[in-house]
Amino acid sequence: MPETQPAHWVVLKFGGTSVSSRANWDRIAAILRARCAEGLRTAVVHSALSGITDALIRLMDRAQAGDAETEVAGIVARHRELAAALGIDLPPEVGQQLAELGRVAGGIALIGEVSDAVRARVLAAGELMATALGAAFLNAQGLVTTLVDARSWLIAQPVRGQRPSVLSASCGSDPDPALVARFAQLPGVILTQGFIAAGEGGQTVVLGRGGSDTSGAYLAARLSALRLEIWTDVPGMFSANPRAVPTARLLKSLHYDEAQEIATSGAKVLHPRCIMPLRQQRIPLQVYATQAPEHPGTIVSAEPADSGARLKAIAIRKGITLVSMDSPGMWHEVGFLADAFAVFRQHGMSVDLVSTSETNVTVSLDPQANALDSGEVAALVEDLGRLCRVRVIGPCASLSLLGRDIRAIIHRLGEAFELFEEQRIYLVSQAANDLNFTFVIDEDQGDRLVALLHDLLIQAIGNDPVLGPTWEQINVPQAGVAPRSDWWRARRAELLGLLDGRDAAYVCELATVSAQARALQSLGSVSRLFYAVKANAQPEILRCIAAAGLSFECVSPGEVLRVRQALPDLDTGRLLFTPNFAPRAEYEWALGQGLQLTVDNLYVLREWPGLFRDRAIFVRIDTGRGHGHHQKVRTAGTQSKFGVPLDEATELAEAAAEAGARIVGLHAHTGSGHFEIGAWVDAAEVLANVARHLPEVRVLNLGGGLGVPERPGQAALDLAALDAALGGFRAAHPQFELWLEPGRYLVAAAGVLLARVTQLKGKGELRYVGVATGMNSLIRPALYGAWHEIVNLTRLAETPAQLYTVVGPICESGDVLGHDRLLPPCREGDVLLIATAGAYGAAMASHYNLREPAPQLVL
């Protein structure tokens, strides 16, 4: 007789947002079918519709004042709307619960208060109604589903040392063969409520806010499931809160301890209580996003991909209050801590972090564990005041570095400590479990420091077994974020056609160049605009920019000749020549041509004075402060070779006078690709200051540097704000004209690099996709660490499902166009598109390895 295999169970928990729309319910049905097709049995645990638990809490508050009607009506409407969207009738259970809510609200109004037992019953209604809808929908879809009341299988158990609570119950998590046998008899998908359980006397209890995760963990443990899947609205756990730090990286794999620590330290994806039952049974936990089920998510288990010492996440908790206790007599005194902590206990306050010195003990009070209203804190302080001198500090934030063996990496945090230079650190604690290192600082500095620390310590790490792509790279659809409108999405077919018979090409859309030029022309505060030809000297682009009325800034005789060839009728007055460390002959040539020249070194005035007699020149000044997307494009400060330093300003006037030159303009360019509007105004102020020694100066050329968004969702430079700021400067300094020299701003987004997939390779953790051209065409990623969006144009409509490192054919390990890019599975011959490549792409291309760089085409 063939032996029947015992069923393998998988438990899937869906959160509130996951169960609130038809689109998500269709995805849930598909996920369940896929699990069944693998021969698995599925048990689903789910939450109330999003916002309903909050609405029920409001309902009880309002009911005490006899005015719960609008809340009840809102709850009714939400469930009716979802039923309609799901194409089902409102199940009778939902009607019963809604009627019951109305009755309970009336009762509360009569009595004027809500007991914990009633509160638990009212809260449970959210999950009871939602699961009734879910089961009815799945059955209507032909997916056999059995609705099981959670109160029939999850019974609260008293925990030693804890007061039993019907609002925050705990339950057992031992393997339960009887439950396995019972569920094995029930047909199809088992569907049950999260968050709710039965008390020992059979009454309804709940597991505390966010408790559905814990229900899922209990069920997985009791069924000895293969895994627990937690389906939520973010595709996994991240190295920081992704909504605050968009460069937060996906944590691909974590140990239970680490996940618990991260969840406890402020991440909201998982409830920290759900880890323990899983860890005890060594059941892995997988976190996924319901709206993007193809994303690999985070796996939490006993065997993470990397168990070495390292930092994995930075978390912040706000609203922390510190209590600092000073007592000169406490040193070597027996029992001071015991006495002080007894006071905290009397006041029902739970202490989180502790630091001690000879004469001071400072503790933190976490708002999640304590009701910290000012009256209660004052009462605590009064009682503590009998033992010592007390100071309350707050609001503070605790900032935690989380990871494994934190002790072993403290020495690497040196640079990070510099970020705290101007900060008061009130308390530092290294957790005894060695999983976190926490600083307590002023609350208003918290977010800024998290972002800086994350950039420094995590974002910078390259390919990694634990750290996956960033939140922005994953770009899962989120409510409220506008979809992308890149020109190349609409012109996909044309682009693919252009690449027919080729391996690689740059393609530039001239309409985008013109649109950017028009946008710049709207800057009323700027008198003249010069296109920085070095960004892209393609003749069609030059003609398009000239037609829009811009002039040209050239840095070499070659660029001047290129502009002249493309535009033979161009007036010489529309050319600027701005060489740097160029030979004397170039200056002679330029002056002979009548070009407006900018010098950037006193040397040329002092050593070649004859050249400049009676000439009107511009001088480039180093304002001392650099800006930009990368160290190598910050073009001010002593580390930068450009410009005359500010402390030579007086010598500059003398040297020009001796050479007989008239300085009519000053120039500053502080860096590329930034969005700090104040930087241009600062530069103008600095130049205006220098001009006080130079009475003939009438033009301040503020260079370029106008940033272009590179990442999906990144905001564009606010041109109107720039105009307003520069307008303010001009109003204060009407004697000067302002000029700008944008390059990237005009052409970056207009250009893309297309390259055909050549080969694929898997190596260790990594998957490589090779394309026909690399750093010989586009060196920015290798040179500046620049980030370019990469998509598979051939498979633009397919779901990105695989992380790739995108490499070219050049014999350099730096020949990488993008790390950890999520793309649909790629095949030889597919066309990858590398976006925002119109500036400094073709212009910086080389013949390295004697490989021809991609040719430039225009649309």
* Binding residues vs Mg ion (CB under 5 A): 15, 210
Dist. CA 601–CA 648, nearest whole Å: 10
* CB contact at 8 A, 538 and 857: no
**Binding residue for ligand ASP (CB under 6 A) from 41, 60, 118, 194?**
194
Query: Taking CB within 5 to 8 Å according to partner kind, which of Mg ion, ligand ASP, none is near residue 644?
Result: none
Query: Taking CB within 5 to 8 Å according to partner kind, which of ligand ASP, Mg ion, none is near residue 195?
Result: ligand ASP
Q: Which is nearer to ligand ASP, 195 or 804 (CB)?
A: 195
Identify the CA nearest to 533 among candidates 575, 475, 474: 575
Q: Which is nearer to ligand ASP, 130 or 508 (CB)?
A: 130
Q: Which is nearer to ligand ASP, 270 or 299 (CB)?
A: 270
Q: Which is nearer to ligand ASP, 213 or 820 (CB)?
A: 213
How far apart are CB 67 and Mg ion at their closest, in Å?
29
Query: Taking CB within 5 to 8 Å according to partner kind, which of Mg ion, ligand ASP, none is near residue 767?
Result: none
Point out the catalytic residue in the list 274, 508, 554, 811.
Answer: 811
How far apart are CB 213 and ligand ASP at their closest, in Å?
6
**Binding residue for ligand ASP (CB under 6 A) from 126, 216, 643, 671?**
126
**Binding residue for ligand ASP (CB under 6 A) from 210, 266, 665, 770?**
210
**Binding residue for ligand ASP (CB under 6 A) from 212, 265, 321, 578?**
212
Other Cβ atoms within 10 Å of 148 Cβ, number: 19
How far apart are CB 17 and ligand ASP at their closest, in Å?
10
* CB contact at 8 A, 820 and 767: no
- Residue identified by tokens 């100071």 is 391
Q: Which is nearer to ligand ASP, 15 or 293 (CB)?
A: 15
How far apart are CB 236 and Mg ion at their closest, in Å?
14
To the query of whether residue 811 is one of the catalytic residues in this protein, the response is yes
Q: Which residues contact 692 (CB under 8 A, 6 or more apart)?
A: none
Other Cβ atoms within 10 Å of 833 Cβ, number: 25
Q: Which is nearer to ligand ASP, 126 or 134 (CB)?
A: 126
DSSP notation for 13-46: EE-TGGGSSHHHHHHHHHHHHHHHHTT-EEEEEE
Dist. CA 215–CA 256, nearest whole Å: 17
Q: Which is nearer to Mg ion, 214 or 247 (CB)?
A: 214
How far apart are CB 270 and Mg ion at their closest, in Å?
7
Per rule CB under 6 A, is residue 235 in the interface with ligand ASP? no
Dist. CA 28–CA 293, nearest whole Å: 9
Identify the CA nearest to 840 among candidates 772, 759, 753: 753
Query: For the window 148-187, what string marks contact with ligand ASP as x by the rule CB under 6 A?
Result: ----------------------------------------
Dist. CA 543–CA 241, nearest whole Å: 46
* CB contact at 8 A, 352 and 364: yes
Per rule CB under 6 A, is residue 53 in the interface with ligand ASP? yes
Other Cβ atoms within 10 Å of 400 Cβ, number: 26
Q: Which is nearer to Mg ion, 15 or 394 (CB)?
A: 15
Query: Taking CB within 5 to 8 Å according to partner kind, which of Mg ion, ligand ASP, none is near residue 53?
Result: ligand ASP
730 φ, ψ (degrees, to nearest 5):
-65, -35
Query: For the window 67-106, what string marks contact with ligand ASP as x by the rule CB under 6 A?
Result: ----------------------------------------
**Structural Rg of the chain based on CA atoms:** 33
Per rule CB under 6 A, is residue 59 in the interface with ligand ASP? no
- Indicate the Cα dihedral angle 319, 350, 271, 403, nearest 10°: 80
**Binding residue for ligand ASP (CB under 6 A) from 48, 466, 636, 690?**
48
Per rule CB under 6 A, is residue 211 in the interface with ligand ASP? yes
Identify the CA nearest to 796 among candidates 760, 830, 749: 830
Per rule CB under 6 A, is residue 564 in the interface with ligand ASP? no
Per rule CB under 6 A, is residue 209 in the interface with ligand ASP? yes
The amino acid sitting at 422 is E
Dist. CA 398–CA 352, nearest whole Å: 11
Q: What is the b/e burial string over 722-749, where b = at least 16 CB atoms within 10 angstroms of the residue's CB?
A: bbebbeebbeeeeebebbbbbbbbbbbb
Dist. CA 605–CA 694, nearest whole Å: 15
169: its two tokens: 């119950």
How far apart are CB 193 and ligand ASP at their closest, in Å?
9
- Judged by CB under 6 A, the number of residues near ligand ASP is 13
Per rule CB under 6 A, is residue 47 in the interface with ligand ASP? yes
Per rule CB under 6 A, is residue 436 in the interface with ligand ASP? no
Per DSSP, helices labelled H in 347-421 are 374-384, 406-409, 414-418
- Among the listed ranges 170-178, 207-215, 227-235, 709-717, the one in contact with ligand ASP (CB under 6 A) is 207-215
Dist. CA 266–CA 733, nearest whole Å: 50
Per rule CB under 6 A, is residue 16 in the interface with ligand ASP? yes
Q: Which is nearer to ligand ASP, 268 or 282 (CB)?
A: 268
Other Cβ atoms within 10 Å of 620 Cβ, number: 22
Q: Which residues are catalytic?
A: 811
Q: Summarize as ranges the residues that interact with ligand ASP (CB under 6 A).
A: 15-16, 47-48, 53, 126, 194-195, 209-213
